Amino acid sequence: MTAHIRPDLDFIPAYVPGRSHPGAVKLASNETTIGPLPAASKAIAEAVELANRYPDNQSGELRAALAEFLGVEPANIAVGCGSVALCQELVQITCADPADEVLYAWRSFEAYPIITQVGNATAVTVPLTDEVHDLDALAAAITDRTRLVFVCNPNNPTGTAVGRAELERFLDRVPGGVLVALDEAYYEYLRMTGDHPDGVELARNRPNVVVLRTFSKAYGLAGLRVGYAVGAPEVIEALLKVHIPFSVSRVAQAAAIASLEARPELLDRTETVIAERERMRTALLAAGYRVPVSESNFLWITLGAATIDFAEASAAAGVIIRPFAGEGVRVTAGDPHENDLFLNFASDPETVARFARGA
Ligand SMILES: *Cc1c(COP(=O)(O)O)cnc(C)c1O
């Protein structure tokens, strides 16, 4: 007889690995294309020598380094096995009853519905307006059962961002007992100068706001799994309680510290990515696609019912992108030659005739 498995897990789609396309360019996962810096590789190699020892469960050295960088205390920082683990831990520290609500915009980060379901809580979603967060609608959807609100800024997969003033107005409307998680996985790609939304600043005097950032994107360590949360000591302490022990490896901690030390060099790279992103958006707009302004390292193309056909045609042309059936595709800004391959496909007259006009 098969073991009894929670029946509600049937509502979570089983993981289906993407079709492999040997030799294809992958612009599907918002990764950086350049490998670790020599300093990070050296730290990784040194940490491997101690692989027989457990890592520091508190990530003390990394938290101290992050605290100094951000101008907060180590007690304001929790480290997780990728910031997606911290997303899950936030549900665990706020929701205890199946009627407890986790609120977020949709479409947004694909992990939110999954971790909400796994956490045995109720998901409440509010549609984006023209691919942008509708913070008034989000505030209006808060009930006395809302425990946690995710605001993904810039938003994955649409790339759009909301500014500081708008976020402050939203946070002012949220009751103090509701935890707001500002998911800033793409923070390093934001260039909103006048109205720059820095979650860490917004959270400084708001104990119900926690900020999530990661080493997976601009810092280029997606394969090592390390992210962090910045918030009030009470929230951080609770996160440490539900943390899977030793889930942030010694190698990940060492690489993160080395990458933080080398951040000027890493953050310089974001300028190149942003230039590519803008070049791609200009070309796509010129071809007739609908592409919202992006503040991240990827672009969203609205394609509606043609989404899957477009993604398959792109794969056949040698570029894997990320489709969201019925809505649109997300395309990462990669190396110039990779982006060119995608642009050649997207702006080919045949592709344009099939997908761009009237999208
Ligand atoms: C990539 C991403 C993350 C986190 O990724 P990790 O690799 O788990 O740190 C979190 N939120 C969003 C919106 C992302 O796109």
- Is residue 302 within 8 A of residue 131, CB to CB? The reply is yes
- Cβ-Cβ contacts under 8 Å for 341 (sequence gap 6 or more): 25, 317, 318, 319
Residue with the two structure tokens 């119900």: 208
The H-or-E segment that residue 138 falls in is: helix 135-140
Dihedral sign for Cα 29, 187, 204, 182, please. negative
The whole-number pLDDT of residue 359 equals: 46
Residue 85 Cα to ligand 1 midpoint, Å, equals 9
Rounded Cα–Cα distance for residues 63 and 29 (Å): 27
Rounded Cα–Cα distance for residues 274 and 25 (Å): 19
The whole-number pLDDT of residue 17 equals: 67
Closest CA to 296 of 201, 209, 191, 197: 191
Does the beta carbon of 214 sit less than 6 angstroms from any atom of ligand 1? yes
Angle (deg, nearest 10), helices 83-94 and 233-242? 100
- Is residue 167 within 8 A of residue 41, CB to CB? The reply is no
Does the beta carbon of 185 sit less than 6 angstroms from any atom of ligand 1? yes
The whole-number pLDDT of residue 148 equals: 98
What does the pLDDT profile of the chain (359 residues) look like in tens digits?
889 999 988 888 777 666 678 889 999 999 999 999 999 999 999 999 999 999 999 999 999 999 999 999 999 999 999 999 999 999 999 999 999 999 999 999 999 999 999 999 999 999 999 999 999 999 999 999 999 999 999 999 999 999 999 999 999 999 999 999 999 999 999 999 889 999 999 999 999 999 999 999 999 999 999 999 999 999 999 999 999 999 999 999 999 999 999 999 999 999 999 999 999 999 999 999 999 999 999 999 999 999 999 999 999 999 999 999 999 999 999 999 999 999 999 999 999 999 997 54
Closest CA to 59 of 41, 78, 76: 78
Rounded Cα–Cα distance for residues 177 and 207 (Å): 9
Write out 274-300 in H/E/C secondary structure.
Answer: HHHHHHHHHHHHHHCCECCCCCCCEEE
Residue 181 Cα to ligand 1 midpoint, Å, equals 13
Among 109, 225, 244, residue to substitute to test ligand 1 (most atoms within 8 Å of Cβ): 109
Rounded Cα–Cα distance for residues 137 and 160 (Å): 17
Angle (deg, nearest 10), helices 60-70 and 250-261? 30
The whole-number pLDDT of residue 11 equals: 85
Q: How many CA atoms lie within 13 A of 100 on its CB side?
A: 21
In the chain, DSSP assigns E strands to 25-26, 77-80, 101-106, 122-127, 146-152, 179-183, 209-214, 227-230, 298-302, 319-320, 322-324, 328-332
**pTM assigned to the model:** 0.96
Rounded Cα–Cα distance for residues 28 and 156 (Å): 12
Residue 3 Cα to ligand 1 midpoint, Å, equals 32
Distance from the Cα of residue 146 to its chain's centroid: 22
Residue 222: count other Cβ atoms within 10 Å of its Cβ: 16
Which is the closest atom of ligand 1 to the Cα of 152? Answer: 13
Find the angle CA(92)-CA(153)-CA(330) to the nearest 5 degrees: 100
